[in-house]
Chain A
Amino acid sequence: MLFAPLARAGQFVATFTPLKRLVCFAAVLGLLAMLFMTVKLTGNMNYVLPRRGWMLATMLLVGIAAGVATVLFQTISNNRILTPAVMGFEALFVLIQTSVIFFMGADSSFYSSPLIRFVCESLIMTGFAVLLYRWLFAANTDLHRLLLVGLVFGILFTSLSNLMQRMLMPTEFDVLQGRLFARLTLPHPQLIMISALVVLVVCIIVWRMRYAFDVLALGRDAATGLGLNYRKTVTRILLLIAVLVSVSTALIGPLTFLGFMAAILAYQLAGSYQHRFVLPAAAILGVCFLAGGQLILEHVLSMAGALTVVIEFIGGSLFLLLLLKRGRL
C-alpha cells in the first residue's frame, strides 16, 4: 500500500537516466520540505517557523546519515539486507545515557550541557566501534560472526542499561526517559550545527572515495586483484559509518530500520548500482521518509510523536517480507 505510489513513480522515471532520477528525488524532497514548512501554519510565526526549520534540519541530517551509512555498510558486507543499526550502536547510546545518570547523577554539569554531552557520546560511540572492529577484524573474522557479535553486544548493552535503570531513583529515571524518547520534536540548534559540520565532512570524504566503493562492491578477491588495499579501505569505511550512526543516534535516538528502507529503495529506483548515484539517492530518500512520515502522522493521523515507532514497524515488516522472499540473508 505504502509503496504503490512510489512504485508507480518508479515506473514513470524508468526511462530516465540516473542523473535525471536524482533530480526527481531532489524535487520530491523539495516539495515535501515546502509542505512541511507551510502546512497548517498558524500561531506565532517567530516561534513556529524556526521550530519547523530546526526540525527539518534534524531530519535532513538524520536521513542523510542513515541512508549513506546503510549503503556503505551493505557494500562492505556484500549484502543488501543488513544495516549498521544491528551492530549494537543504539543500545550503546542508551547505555551511555544511562551510565551518565547512574554514575554522575541527574544534575551533574556534564549532563546539563548538551554540547559536551553530545561530543562525549559521539566520541565514545565511535571509539567503541573502532575498537570492536579492530579487534574482530584483526582476528580475520568472517562477517556472520562479526554481525552476531554486534547483535549480542547490543543485547548486552540493553541488559546493562536495564540493570542500571532498575537501580536509579525514580526522579533520575524520569530525567532519563525524557532524554531517550522522541527528540525530533525538541531539537537543539547547537547540536544540529555541530552535527551538520560532522556530516558534511564525512560526506565529502565519502564522495571522494565513491569509486573505491564500486570496486569494493565486487567482493574481496576482485577488489584486492584490482589493487585496492581491502582491509585498510574497509576499516576506514567502518569508521565513517560509526561517525554517521553515532551522530544520527545522538540526535534523535534509536531508529533501526530507516536506513534499511532508504537503501532498499535507492537500489530499486536509482537506475544504477554505481555509488555516485546510489549514495545520494539513499540520502535523499531517507530524508523523504522522515519528512513525509512526519507530515502524514502529524496532519493526517494526528500522532505527532510516533514517527520513530511507525518507521520501525513498517521497516521491520518490510525486512521480514524481504527475508522470506529472497530466502537468504
Chain B
Amino acid sequence: MRFLAFLLALVLVSLLTVSSLVVGSNSIGIMQLLADPAAWDLLILSRIPRTVALLLCGMAMSVCGLIMQMLTQNRYVEPATAGAVQSAGLGILIITILWPAAPVLARMGFASFFSLLGTGLFLLILQRLSLRATLIVPLVGIMLGAVISAVTVFIAVRFDLLQSLAAWTSGDFSGVMKGRYELLWLVGALTLLTYFVADRFAVAGMGREFAVNLGLNYRRVMLLGMSIVAIVSGVVVVVIGALPFLGLIVPNIVSLILGDNVRRNIPWIALLGGGIVVACDLTGRLLVHPFEIPAGSILGVIGAVVFLFVILREQIYVRS
C-alpha cells in the first residue's frame, strides 16, 4: 500500500519534471525535438540542467532540514532558521570583497565554511540556553539569522554590493545552465549518504544521554550532520540562493502523515522536496510568462503560510 502510494507520488513528480522540461519562454514539443536541432540544444543546455538542479536542491535542502531537526531535537529548525543560510550569504559576500575573481569552488568552500560557523554558533547558543522550550529554539535561530543578515547588509552597503547581494541570495534557477550546476551532484551524493546513516541521526535525535547510552559516538554524529548541512547550504546558496522554509515544511508534512521513522521517511522527504521546488519554479515561469519569478520568492510565501499553519495547528490540537 505504502509502496503504491510512493509509486503514485513518483509518477506525479515525474509529470512535474516533464512539464519543467517543456515549459519556458520557448516551449518545446516532441514534434520540434524531432525536427529542430535548436530545440535539442535548448533542452540539453538549459532545460535538463535546470530541472536536475531543481530536483537536487529540493531534495537536499529538505533532507538537511530533517538532519537539523534531529540534531537539535526540535521540529521547527532548518538551515534558514538556524543562521546557516544567512552565514553562507555572508561568506559569499566576504570572499567577493577579498578575492573578486575567486573560482566557484573557492566560493563554495568559503560559503560552506561560514555556514558551518553559523550553525556552530547556533548550537553553542542553544547549549547556553537554560530553558530549551520548543518554540524558543526557532526564535533564537531566526534572530541569529536576522543579526547575521544585518551584518551582511552593513558590509554590502559599505562596499556598494547591496544589489549583487540581493541577486545572490534569492533562490533563482533561471541562471542554471550546463556547466554551472554540476556542483549540485555533490549535494545529491550527500543526500544519498544521509539515507545510509539515517539511523544514527534518529538515535542522536533522542538526546545526548540516550544516544551515548546506546553506544553512539554522539560528537562524531553531530559533526557529520553539521558538515552535511553546512556543505549543502553553502553549495545551494552559491549556485541557486536561499530556498526558505523548505527544510522545515517538508519533513514536518511527511512526519505528520507517516510518523517519525527517519530512514523510511527520507525517500518521501526527498521526493516531496524535489516536487515542491519544481512546482514553485514552474509557477514562477508561468505567472508572468514570458518573464520569470524566482522559485525562492514563491517558496517563501508558501513556506511561511505552511509554517504558520504548523505552529498554530499544534495549539488548536493542544486545546481540544
On A, residues with C-beta under 8 Å from B are: 86, 139-142, 144-145, 147-149, 151-153, 155-156, 158-160, 162-163, 166-167, 256-257, 306, 309-310, 312-313, 316-317, 319-320, 323-324, 327-329
With a cutoff of 8 Å between Cβ atoms, the chain B residues found around residue A163 in the complex are 293, 297-298, 300-301
Q: Tell me, rounded to whole Å, the shortest Cβ–Cβ distance linking B200 to chain A.
A: 29
20 residue pairs from A and B, CB less than 8 Å apart: A139-B315, A148-B76, A148-B138, A148-B139, A148-B142, A152-B307, A152-B311, A159-B301, A162-B170, A162-B300, A163-B293, A257-B150, A306-B157, A312-B150, A312-B153, A320-B147, A327-B129, A328-B130, A329-B139, A329-B140
Q: Are B135 and A148 neighbours in the complex by a CB distance under 8 Å?
A: yes
| B308 nearest CB neighbor, chain A only | A152
With a cutoff of 8 Å between Cβ atoms, the chain B residues found around residue A166 in the complex are 288, 293-294, 297
Question: Which of A156, A167, A317 makes the CB contact (< 8 A) with B305?
Answer: A156
**Residues of chain B in range 122-141 having any CB-CB distance to chain A below 8 Å:** 124-125, 128-131, 133, 135-136, 138-140
With a cutoff of 8 Å between Cβ atoms, the chain B residues found around residue A160 in the complex are 301
With a cutoff of 8 Å between Cβ atoms, the chain A residues found around residue B158 in the complex are 306
Q: Tell me, rounded to whole Å, the shortest Cβ–Cβ distance linking A133 to chain B.
A: 14
In the assembly, what is the distance between CA of A319 and CA of B245, in Å?
A: 24
| B144 interface residue per 8 A CB criterion | yes
Range, interface on chain B: 35 or more
With a cutoff of 8 Å between Cβ atoms, the chain A residues found around residue B157 in the complex are 306, 309
Q: Tell me, rounded to whole Å, the shortest Cβ–Cβ distance linking B82 to chain A.
A: 14
With a cutoff of 8 Å between Cβ atoms, the chain B residues found around residue A144 in the complex are 133, 135-136, 139
With a cutoff of 8 Å between Cβ atoms, the chain A residues found around residue B301 in the complex are 156, 159-160, 163
| A147 nearest CB neighbor, chain B only | B139
With a cutoff of 8 Å between Cβ atoms, the chain B residues found around residue A159 in the complex are 244, 297, 300-301, 303-304
Q: Tell me, rounded to whole Å, the shortest Cβ–Cβ distance linking B146 to chain A.
A: 7
| B154 interface residue per 8 A CB criterion | yes
Q: Tell me, rounded to whole Å, the shortest Cβ–Cβ distance linking A301 to chain B.
A: 11
In the assembly, what is the distance between CA of A320 and CA of B125, in Å?
A: 9
* Chain B 52-74 near chain A by CB (<8 Å), digits 1 or 0: 00000000000000000000000
With a cutoff of 8 Å between Cβ atoms, the chain B residues found around residue A167 in the complex are 287-288, 293
| A145 nearest CB neighbor, chain B only | B135
| B151 interface residue per 8 A CB criterion | yes
In the assembly, what is the distance between CA of A324 and CA of B128, in Å?
A: 7
With a cutoff of 8 Å between Cβ atoms, the chain B residues found around residue A149 in the complex are 308, 311-312
Q: Are B300 and A155 neighbours in the complex by a CB distance under 8 Å?
A: yes
Q: Tell me, rounded to whole Å, the shortest Cβ–Cβ distance linking A12 to chain B.
A: 31
Q: Are B151 and A316 neighbours in the complex by a CB distance under 8 Å?
A: yes
In the assembly, what is the distance between CA of A139 and CA of B153, in Å?
A: 37
Q: Are A145 and B170 neighbours in the complex by a CB distance under 8 Å?
A: no
With a cutoff of 8 Å between Cβ atoms, the chain A residues found around residue B305 in the complex are 156
* Chain B 288-320 near chain A by CB (<8 Å), digits 1 or 0: 100001100110110111011001100110010
Q: Are B153 and A162 neighbours in the complex by a CB distance under 8 Å?
A: no
With a cutoff of 8 Å between Cβ atoms, the chain A residues found around residue B129 in the complex are 327-329
With a cutoff of 8 Å between Cβ atoms, the chain A residues found around residue B153 in the complex are 309, 312
Q: Are A256 and B146 neighbours in the complex by a CB distance under 8 Å?
A: yes
| B253 interface residue per 8 A CB criterion | no
In the assembly, what is the distance between CA of A65 and CA of B147, in Å?
A: 22
Q: Tell me, rounded to whole Å, the shortest Cβ–Cβ distance linking B284 to chain A.
A: 9
In the assembly, what is the distance between CA of A29 and CA of B76, in Å?
A: 44
| B97 interface residue per 8 A CB criterion | no
| B143 interface residue per 8 A CB criterion | yes
Q: Tell me, rounded to whole Å, the shortest Cβ–Cβ distance linking A64 to chain B.
A: 23
In the assembly, what is the distance between CA of A319 and CA of B27, in Å?
A: 51
Q: Given the known A-B contacts A145-B311, A324-B128, are A155 and B304 also in contact in the complex, defined by CB atoms under 8 Å? A: yes
With a cutoff of 8 Å between Cβ atoms, the chain A residues found around residue B150 in the complex are 256-257, 309, 312-313, 316
Q: Tell me, rounded to whole Å, the shortest Cβ–Cβ distance linking B249 to chain A.
A: 11
With a cutoff of 8 Å between Cβ atoms, the chain A residues found around residue B245 in the complex are 155
With a cutoff of 8 Å between Cβ atoms, the chain A residues found around residue B170 in the complex are 162
Q: Tell me, rounded to whole Å, the shortest Cβ–Cβ distance linking B136 to chain A.
A: 5
Q: Are B139 and A313 neighbours in the complex by a CB distance under 8 Å?
A: no
With a cutoff of 8 Å between Cβ atoms, the chain A residues found around residue B147 in the complex are 316-317, 319-320
With a cutoff of 8 Å between Cβ atoms, the chain B residues found around residue A316 in the complex are 146-147, 150-151
| A303 nearest CB neighbor, chain B only | B158
Known contacts A148-B138, A313-B154, A329-B139; can you find 7 more A-B pairs with CB under 8 A?
A: A139-B315, A149-B311, A163-B293, A257-B150, A309-B150, A309-B153, A323-B140
